[in-house]
Amino acid sequence: MNPKMLTIDYSYRGHKIVSHDGLNYGYGLTHFFMPRLHFGGVIVGNSSDANDIAAIVSREFIDQVLKVSQDERPDWNQQFHDDVERDIEEEKKRVEDLKEELRSGGNGELEQKRSLSTYTGRYWNEGYKAMKVEITGNQLYIDASDRSMGFFLTFEHICDQTKYVVHLSDFVEGGDTQMAAEFVFEGAKVVKLGLKIEEDLDEMIWFDKVPQPFKMGTRSLVYLLTP
């Protein structure tokens, strides 16, 4: 049997195994337990990728306790690498399908024609607080590194001046996770920004654009919509 590397409950050679992997900045781990044999362990490493290695080591420990001969043991290292390669290909397909879905729902206008300054400014969501859309390197960009699990978003226009894919890069570890984004216009002005930043939710997280201060002669009228 080839148990998945990330699981909480599976059977291996007739034995139930409870296992779970975890990670955070600077460390990764796995813990596992075999109830029938009263055997288990916690394996920790000082890298967020360490839980992958820890999962492989835990399988080797389990084979050792079960006295599985070397020629009968799965190649856990190879299986892990195969899983990684499969995940990479699945992610590529997910992104391709996402972009195709966004295009199919639009009117086919693929070129970014509106000035990027149309989209810039502060956006507000009660849960996620403020997001400031800026222009960096001729692209729309959000620096959200000011929160506990900071990140950066770079916008890639897909179609209709409203539909985008955002590239999320973690503040500490980098990376490139791609997800949908959408701007909503009322007339010539942007009023909302939707970000699909919660993969467990079907809907986007919506941010209202905060009106900017403007001047009338020598007087200023300021709209303050944030707490």
| All structural domains of the chain | 9-89 (no CATH), 108-221 (2.40.128.600)
Question: Which residues, in sequence order, are CB contacts of 178 under 8 Å at separation 6+?
Answer: 95, 98, 165, 166, 167, 168
CA atoms within 13 A on the CB side of 145: 9
CA dihedral 98, 99, 103, 104 (to 10 degrees): -40
Instruction: Give the three-state DSSP class for 104.
Output: helix
The model's pLDDT over 171-215, given as tens digits with 9 standing for 90+, comes to 988 999 999 999 999 999 999 999 999 988 999 999 999 987 644
Q: Is 85 left (phi over 0), alpha (psi -120 to 50) or beta?
A: alpha
Mark the ranges of the chain whose per-residue pLDDT is less than 70.
Answer: 1-7, 213-227
Report the pLDDT value the prediction gives residue 227, as an integer from 0 to 100: 43
Report the pLDDT value the prediction gives residue 4, as an integer from 0 to 100: 47
